[in-house]
Structure 1
Amino acid sequence: MTLYKPFEGTTREELKLHRPKSPDFILCQVCGLNSSLQEHNSYFSHVKVSMNSTRGMWSIGEKYFLKERPKYGWGFLSPPNADYAVNKFLTENSNVPVAKDMRTWEDKDSDWYWMEKCPGETLKKVGGSLTWEQHRTIGYELGEYLAEARKFTSTKPEAPDGSPIRDKYLGADFRCVDLMTVDREEWWARTEPRLRKHPSITEEWKKKFKESYPFKEGDKYVLSHGDLDSSNIMVKDGHVTAIIDWEHGGYRPEWYEWSQFGMSRGSGERAKSHPEKCGWTSFLVEKMVQLGMDVEMPPEVRDCIWSYGRYVKEPEDEDLPRYPYEEFNRYLYRKCTNYQRYLAENTSPNYLVQLRKEREKKEVEKVAVMLAFNKLSLDEKDIFLTGKSQIGSGHSKRDLNDPVDNRLY
């Protein structure tokens, strides 16, 4: 969006320099709509955008969907994305419903993902309108699909195409991207320099902490979604139509999915005793228990993860490599007066009523002042505005720059 300030010059040349040409006056910084296109055309777009952080999602008519993911969000390296690899693998080898006809490509700035739209809406959007019976059906179906995905295994953590996956349990959680590895020395090389200064951290403690690293080659890793919630579950008519957004997916430890949800068997028991009070997650827990997916995180793994969270610092932004990127100004539109009014009314109705009454009171007072002012004589108006009268002694005109003798008024 181009911000336009009022012209304060006096000549045609100054105006020409001040006022952008219509193709250069940007109305939308997302799609690039400019003043020239808006003024001279009648196209109504059926390509609509939504956003999630630095990523853009474009709805292409009724059938297709396009996702753009920058390689460098805010100037930092974006984490690996397994969406295409997992989607392709499950499409070819399972009955797990995923986005159809997904394609991907990249350019110097972004990774692109093209796919058919999935039927229905996200569970996040429509979940509140579903009956508990529909929540039960959805929870059970999800359990079956997750169990089917878990049948695919690997001897190390990775995506189905062999690419690495991110580690946020024993790796950085924010800007820095650490990869899940079975190489203890590789993990320790990045972890030891980040240890906090703490009395508990002795050489003996560091030795035990290093030896407790749990990811080893040859262990069993199962195919998991990695980030399942209501926003990436598509539903229609009370059934799951697709599980989407597998960007965090890959082969992870058997306990990963259960611990990620923070699942408890009590939630599944409530689904049995009071199903009418439960949502889809409780029924999913019940089904996971039935299918043997309730794999608890081993105590030694939990201790290692706890120690990591307590004693290992997050890398500082200034210590990370930076990359050139296209900066998005989130606050640009706040300078638009129409948008300012909209934002200003994001408060309680009582407060807005109070503000409106105060504005109306000031308007009434302003009108009363103007009515009273209009009843004044010309000389009285001059005195009111300047403190001086235009009429001097002998009814002659006074120079308003002359000093005033206030005793005369």
Structure 2
Amino acid sequence: MNKRINNIDDIAYYGSCPSEEFVAHAFPSSRVAFFCYGINIASFMDERKASIRAISGWPEPIRKKLQFEARKGFRDRLKQAAPKTLVVDFSRITRASLMRHGNTLLTVPYELLEASPDLQRQAFGIFKIVPFGSHEFWTLVIEAMRTFSDFVNEELPGTELILLDVPPTADYRGTLIDSNTYMIDFCRWQMRYPMSRMLVDFCLEHIESSRVLTPSIDLYSDDTALYGPAPMHYSAEIWKEIARRFHADGGFGGLPRSSDLVSILTNYSGLMEAFTRTALSNPNLYRFSLDILHGALPYLFAKISSPAHSHFGDPIDSHDVVAAFRWILGREPESAETFLNHYALPNRRELRETLLRSFEFQSQAPHYAKL
């Protein structure tokens, strides 16, 4: 008899802390046939194994994580599990850099970021780091996303894919302590979510059996308040309520196929308001305002102006806009709105051609022709 019929309640999970709470509360009687935690999608889909002997003397938590990940085989194990439901949380992708060992891609462990300078120097000698947010990083991630989508469609055609879309809380009630680390994290969470959201949109477009689960905006967790507006950092009680509403609304069949732009904008309106209030009370936060501008708002402009899939071909980095203005028009963008409108363009080619077609450049072209 077919394995799927025998294990019709098998569940698979791929994500990061603490969204696995949803699986525990939504499918309490199901068997977790596959569980993968904290691994970047580019490494998850990379089947090339690695033997890393140089880390034998490293601290156990780092060594074990890297050795486990280096054995690979994640997609094969997921295929063999043939789960009825696969729950995915992409938020780890927006937090973890990648690194290469030979031809193998691995996720940079959190513990390595907090390790001693000597150990980090050793790591730079063993691995080639692919920094989060770099062009190479997003190229690898998007290639892996395409491979992941094809894999689910071809190898798991009967699996129901639930994409967790848990935005940062809209109502920040926590106390911002006087710590640079905390302030940086507070701001970064506001940039991580739109990146994760675009990956969710990518799957919704490319995987027919996918649905998105976004908690109602009335849900609120004191755990979240104590640690800034971090997505996924909800208390167990909140995850339990999310699971209850999931079943009350019809389970997988009751989930939408498209994102709820109103909820996204509502959450971001609350986030930006909270950030503004906090920044006004703490001058040290002013320097992060540009990061918010580059990270969060361009996504919203892009989301409204055109479909999400057009932003994965040749993604525009924030510095591309400034560089293009300087080289083509001889100046920087005159306003935040101008910057955002150009940042939301589909790719670098469109950015370049938009500026070359502009009246400002065309009026300057005859002058350059005489030089």
Q: TM-score, normalised by structure 1?
A: 0.22
Select the structure that is richer in helix: 2
Q: TM-score, normalised by structure 2?
A: 0.23
Larger Rg: 1
Select the structure that is richer in strand: 1
